[in-house]
Amino acid sequence: MKNIVVVGSQWGDEGKGKIVDWLSEQADVVIRFQGGHNAGHTLVIEGVTYKLRLLPSGIVRKNKISIIGNGVVVDPWALLKEIEEIKSKGVDVNINNFIISESANLILPFHREMDEIREDAAGKEKIGTTRRGIGPAYEDKVGRRSIRVMDLRSEKSLDQRLESALIHHNAIRKGLGNKIFDKEQLKSDLLKIAPKILRFSQPVWFKIDQFKKQKKKILFEGAQGILLDVDHGTYPYVTSSNTVASSAATGSGCGPNSINFVLGITKAYTTRVGEGPFPTELTNHIGDLLGSRGKEFGTVTSRKRRCGWFDGVLVRQTIKISGIDGIALTKLDVLDELDEIKMCVEYEIDGKKTNYLPAAAEDQLKIKPIYTTFPGWKSSTKGIKNIDDLPENAKKYIFAIEDFIGAKISSISTSPERNDTILVQNPFEI
């Protein structure tokens, strides 16, 4: 038995959906362990595109169990809508292949509104959130006033929990000149959908223990990327959860000894959505070319992603922070048309060189990247499935990345299609 954690080694959008889908063919169970419906995974399978936000990528495969762990914040209406969307494409979602942790915290309408109120009030200092209510929901979780899936079982419990949450939220809303939120209408709306959510609810920690005893292979699926981790990312321009691999244990209910391999999904260049530092960002025609060839628009928000050269300094750092054992390199084919390709190998801040990302945002914004330049290969790599068939300059670039970041590349993705992958090492067999 081998259990694998998949995390993004950059700012998210590295192509985790395709890789998790590819790995889930060998797994028995796929678990989402953090984030909310602000993180989208796009899968392209036999010409059909699936855009998942909350549902684990394993849901599109038959005979797999997909789980939303306790570390995820769940918008119940968004989840039910996503289930209906994927059912319309022929994917079955039932109590035998889908589980929600009874301890998962809910995102409610006042969380979404609070997200919008604060982003609008922040002006130029905004974080660039997806305005889905994720941050305020995690705040309520830590503040011990959150509504959890299990609270939907009892009208009395739900009423008490809503009262506690709205005392806090309505005080802030009133202070910012907004109308107070009506508890009764929200309680009524939640009770209407409660049976649809509760039918999937189980103690996930208990189920994982059963799966381990049954020697099932478990795939832990992360959302966003390590550079958006609330502790280790480019704070304050981060998400509200821990996106590192160790969060898989906390966010699902199992010990760290349940994790056997950490796979870091890494794009062959770098992108970022929203505000915040981005040392290798390209605001020129090359950045535009990467964006258009890579179809760099958010799965959830359709926001245009910022694009730049591969930042080896950042990826080397996230590998150390998250204990990454191997790399799945994605979107290599996006670089096919470039005359030359650059990789950041060092930073300069106020005239001094450094080999890591400093913690302070003010220092991060001062970074001047130092590059190594590689010749482009000027030929198509799309759909190549054998590393020996890659152009020589593409192989040189790949091996240079591997050498600099200090982690083995286990696979190389050459298109969004499930099977267009060069397998170097199978994480389930290492």
Q: Which residues have C-beta within 8 Å of that of residue 165, sequence separation ≥ 6?
A: 108, 110, 140, 145, 146, 147
134 touches 39 (CB < 8 A): no
16 touches 221 (CB < 8 A): yes
Q: How many CA atoms lie within 13 A of 225 on its CB side?
A: 25
41 flagged as catalytic? yes
Closest CA relative to residue 17, chosen from 417, 333, 425:
417
Name the pTM for this structure. Answer: 0.92
Classified as helix, coil or strand, 131 is coil
What are 38-81's pLDDT values in tens digits? 766 777 777 778 888 899 988 988 899 999 999 999 999 999 99
What are 83-111's pLDDT values in tens digits? 999 999 999 999 999 999 999 999 999 99
- Distance, in Å, from the CA atom of 80 to the CA atom of 193, rounded to the nearest integer, reads 9
**Residue 370: predicted pLDDT:** 98
130 touches 301 (CB < 8 A): yes
Could you tell me which residues are beta bridge partners of residue 51?
42
13 flagged as catalytic? yes
Q: Which residues have C-beta within 8 Å of that of residue 260, sequence separation ≥ 6?
A: 2, 3, 4
Which of 122-126, 268-272, 372-376 is predicted least confidently?
A: 122-126
What are 179-233's pLDDT values in tens digits? 999 999 999 999 999 999 999 999 999 999 999 999 999 999 998 999 999 999 9
**Residue 302: predicted pLDDT:** 67
Handedness of CA 186, 187, 192, 193 (dihedral sign): positive
Mean pLDDT computed over every residue of the chain: 92
Question: Which segments within 323-418 are labelled E, that is strand?
Answer: 326-330, 340-349, 352-354, 368-375, 408-413
- Mean pLDDT along residues 338-353: 97
Confidence of residue 15 (pLDDT cuts 50, 70, 90): confident
Closest CA relative to residue 63, chosen from 27, 90, 36:
27
**Residue 299: predicted pLDDT:** 59
Q: Which residues have C-beta within 8 Å of that of residue 132, sequence separation ≥ 6?
A: 36, 37, 38, 75, 78, 107, 112, 115, 300
pLDDT at 129 over 70: no
37 touches 248 (CB < 8 A): no
Closest CA relative to residue 281, chosen from 311, 320, 316:
311
Classified as helix, coil or strand, 292 is helix
392: how many CB neighbours lie within 10 A of its CB? Answer: 9
What are 245-261's pLDDT values in tens digits? 999 999 999 999 999 99
Residue 345, phi then psi, degrees to nearest 5: -120, -5
Please pick, among 37, 41, 169, 232, the residue that the annotation labels catalytic. 41
